[in-house]
Amino acid sequence: MSCKLRFQSAADTHPGNVRAINEDAYYSGEENNIWAIADGMGGHYAGDVASRLIIESLAKLPLARSLDEGIEQIVTSLKEVNRRLQEDITIKPGNHVIGSTVVVAFLFESECACLWAGDSRLYVYRGDKVYQVSHDHSVVQEMVDNGIISAEEAITHPQSNVITRAVGTETDLKVDVNVFDLEPGDRLLLCSDGLYGELPASEIKAALDHETPEVCVTALIEQTIAGRAKDNVTVSVIDVYEEMSIEDEF
C-alpha cells in the first residue's frame, strides 16, 4: 500500500466596494500544480494588464518533472513578464510604470515552493495554527523588521500599501523562494492584500475552519465585502490530502 498527496482547490476574486476595476488575477492550475495570485498596482497605469500577463504566462507552463525544474520555470516566466513590461516603458515614450505583485504555490509530490514579489501572501493552516510563509516586500514590513512599528500598527499605517518590489517595476527582478514540506491535512491560503488588510487574523483563521475550499473562499470573500473592502480581494484555498492505493505484490 502506498500514499500520494493530492490537492483540491477553489478560488475567487471580487473588486471590493470602492474600485470600479478589478486589477487582481488568479490561476488555479491543477494541470501543472501551480496556483497563483497577482495584484496589479492600483496607483499605477494598467495594473490589470500586468496581473493578467503574469497569470497568462504561468498558465502556459508545463508540468515540471522535479521541484527544482518547476521553480526554475516559474522564475523564468516571471522574469520574462518583467522584461516585457520594462521594455514597454523603454520603447514607448510617455508610458507609465506597469507593475503587479505575485505569489505562487508550486506543489510537487510532498513539497511546496512558495515564490513571490510584493505583498500578496501564502499562509499554511496546519493543526490549529496559521503560518505566514511569504514575507512582504513593503515599506511597513521593513519598519516591522527594524522594530520601528508593530505588526498590528503596520495594518493601519499610512504607507501600508507601498510595496518595495513587484513584477514590472524592477530592472532585474528578484523572486524570493521558500520551500517547505507538506503534510496531509494542510490547508494553503493565497491572497492579495485586500484580504488581510481588511480582515483580522482571527476572522481569517475562523473562515479557514470551514469544511471545503469552496466554502472557505466564499466565507472569506463575503466577510471582506461586508466591511469597507476598499481594495480588490482575491483568495485561493488548497487542501492537501492523502490518497491511499493498493499495489499488487508478486
What's the CATH code of the domain at 221? 3.60.40.10
Say what angle helices 67-91 and 47-59 make with each other, to 10 degrees: 150
- Which pLDDT does position 182 carry in this prediction? 98
Note the pLDDT of residue 248.
43
pTM attached to this predicted model? 0.92
Identify which of 42, 15, 11 has the alpha carbon closest to the alpha carbon of residue 232.
Answer: 15
Q: What's the pLDDT at 156?
A: 85
Q: Rounded to 5 degrees, what are φ and ψ at 189?
A: -130, 120
In a domain, 136, yes or no: yes
250 lies in a domain? no
Closest CA to 118 of 78, 156, 146: 78
Q: What's the structural domain count of the chain?
A: 1
The answer to whether position 112 is within a domain reads yes
Domain hosting 83: range is: 2-245
Task: Look at residue 198 and tell me if it is in a domain.
Answer: yes
54-109, pLDDT tens digit by residue?
Answer: 999 999 999 999 999 999 999 999 999 999 999 876 555 556 678 999 999 999 99
Structure confidence at residue 161 (pLDDT): 82
Q: How far apart are CA 22 and CA 17, in angstroms?
A: 11
- Enumerate residue ranges in the chain where pLDDT < 70: 1-3, 42-45, 89-96, 245-250
What is the structure's pLDDT at 1?
A: 46
- The C-alpha angle 91, 53, 186, rounded to 5 degrees, equals 145
pLDDT of residue 97: 72
